[in-house]
């Protein structure tokens, strides 16, 4: 086969795209597990994945022996840490779990080839809303790229099972839909809106606000100070190189903050994390395309891409002139200006 699938795998994936009722999906999912199964739910920890895994744990509570949630990445973003802590989501690092001891593995909000750490795990079920990838298989597949959030899909499963989520679970799912649809500014379906409205009546809005406000450490304000002092504005474009950062997520926060400035058409913020240059792109997305600009500027030297209004590039320092030692706001401006 061209993509490495068996004919059975292709049929299963095609079947996952067919119109099925929520109850049919739920029943087919449940049929993959038995009372003696010990289930590992694997995620790349972000709000949508955490909420989805939390929902799967509830769906399987009385149907299997045990359910654990494992993630390979370090959770650094404060809002994600707050989500786990405030909602008491029982997730732990994947390297602390004996993967081979689990009889069934479920992948949520991702697909087996999205991360190297997933490739060696044979998944029995995959539930996701990202574009379909090839070269893998699972006994149960539910991939719906038209959905704005995997959390919306799992909310449907819960309702089909006639399980009313706890306040903590409803809050997690509600918050995840907010994040992944950017308050419905990004692609979403009517189904996302229906589940969002349903969860609104159960979720704790005060906890949602507390999670949303948990974004910055006091020490990270210095990065904002650096960005403001280093920024250059030219032709309605703002450029700022922040230097070395402990967490690249702060670059996203800075770019989103500066993107609120009236009259700016582009905001480009860069920093160095570890051995990589990270560049965040922001624009209005109307007549401009941040994803395309990121690709044109950095695709030859690193990974780059994103949406019309928001994009990101990561480039190994070794691929930059001088190993990136002299990278500055002016360097960033020169690079972008060549391609804009």
- pLDDT tens digits, one per residue of 142-201: 999 999 999 999 999 999 999 999 999 999 999 999 999 989 988 789 999 999 999 999
Amino acid 76: pLDDT? 85
pLDDT at 38 over 60: yes
Q: Are 244 and 208 members of one domain?
A: no
pLDDT at residue number 196: 98
Instruction: Average the pLDDT over 236-252 and give the result.
Output: 95
Predicted local distance difference test score (pLDDT) of residue 305: 84
Contact 126, 142 (CB under 8 A): yes
| 16 occurs within a structural domain | yes
Pair 161, 299 in one domain: no
Per-residue pLDDT for 12 more than 80? Answer: no
d(CA 285, CA 54): 34
| pLDDT at 286 (0 to 100) | 80
Arithmetic mean of pLDDT over the chain: 92
- The total domain count for the chain is 2
Residue 16: what pLDDT? 56
Quick count: other Cβ atoms within 10 Å of Cβ 337?
13
Question: Is 134 in the same domain as 274?
Answer: no
pLDDT value, residue 14: 56
Query: In this structure, is residue 1 part of a structural domain?
Result: no
Domain stops at, among 187, 213, 239: 213
What is the span of the domain harbouring residue 146?
A: 7-213
DSSP per residue, 135-204: S---SEEEE-TTSS-HHHHHHHHHHHTT-PPPHHHHHHHHHHHHHHHTTTTSS--HHHHHHHHHHHTTS-
> Is the pLDDT confidence value at 67 over 90?
yes
Q: Is 165 inside any structural domain?
A: yes
Identify the band that residue 340 occupies on the pLDDT scale cut at 50, 70 and 90: confident
Between 187 and 331, the more confident residue is 331
Q: 180 and 40, same structural domain?
A: yes
Assess whether 28 and 114 both reside in one domain.
yes
Q: What is the mean pLDDT of residues 277-295?
A: 92
Q: Are residues 190 and 273 in the same domain?
A: no
Cβ atoms of 56 and 108 within 8 Å: the answer is: yes
Examine the domain organization and report whether 62 and 185 are in the same domain.
yes
Pair 222, 208 in one domain? no
What pLDDT is attached to residue 249? 87
Together in a domain, 57 and 187: yes
């Amino acid at each position: 086969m061209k993509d490495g699938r068996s004919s059975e795998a292709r049929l299963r994936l095609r079947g996952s795209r067919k119109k099925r009722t929520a109850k049919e999906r739920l029943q087919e999912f449940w049929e993959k597990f038995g009372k003696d199964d010990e289930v590992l739910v694997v995620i790349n920890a972000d709000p949508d994945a955490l909420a989805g895994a939390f929902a799967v744990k509830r769906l399987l509570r009385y149907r299997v022996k045990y359910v654990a949630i494992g993630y390979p990445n370090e959770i650094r973003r404060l809002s994600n840490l707050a989500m786990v802590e405030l909602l008491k989501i029982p997730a732990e690092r994947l390297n602390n779990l004996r993967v081979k001891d689990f009889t069934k593995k479920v992948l949520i909000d991702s697909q087996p080839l999205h991360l190297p750490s997933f490739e060696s795990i044979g998944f029995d079920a995959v539930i996701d809303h990202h574009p379909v990838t090839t070269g893998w298989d699972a006994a149960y597949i539910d991939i719906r790229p038209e959905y704005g959030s995997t959390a919306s899909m799992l909310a449907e499963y819960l309702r089909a099972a006639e399980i009313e989520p706890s306040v903590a679970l409803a809050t997690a799912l509600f918050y995840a839909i907010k994040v992944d649809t950017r308050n419905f500014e990004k692609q979403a379906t009517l189904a996302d809106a229906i589940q969002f409205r349903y969860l609104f009546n159960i979720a704790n809005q005060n906890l949602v606000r507390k999670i949303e406000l948990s974004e910055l450490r006091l020490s990270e304000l210095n990065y904002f100070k650096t960005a403001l002092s280093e920024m250059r504005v030219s032709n309605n474009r703002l450029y700022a190189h922040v230097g070395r950062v402990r967490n690249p997520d702060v670059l996203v926060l800075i770019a989103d903050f500066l993107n609120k400035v009236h009259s700016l058409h582009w905001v480009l913020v860069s920093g160095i994390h570890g051995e990589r240059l990270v560049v965040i792109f922001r624009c209005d997305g109307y007549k401009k395309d941040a994803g395309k600009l990121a690709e044109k500027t950095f695709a030859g030297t690193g990974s780059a891409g994103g949406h019309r209004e928001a994009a990101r590039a990561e480039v190994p320092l070794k691929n930059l002139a001088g190993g990136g030692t002299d990278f500055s706001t002016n360097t960033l401006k020169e690079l972008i200006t060549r391609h804009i």
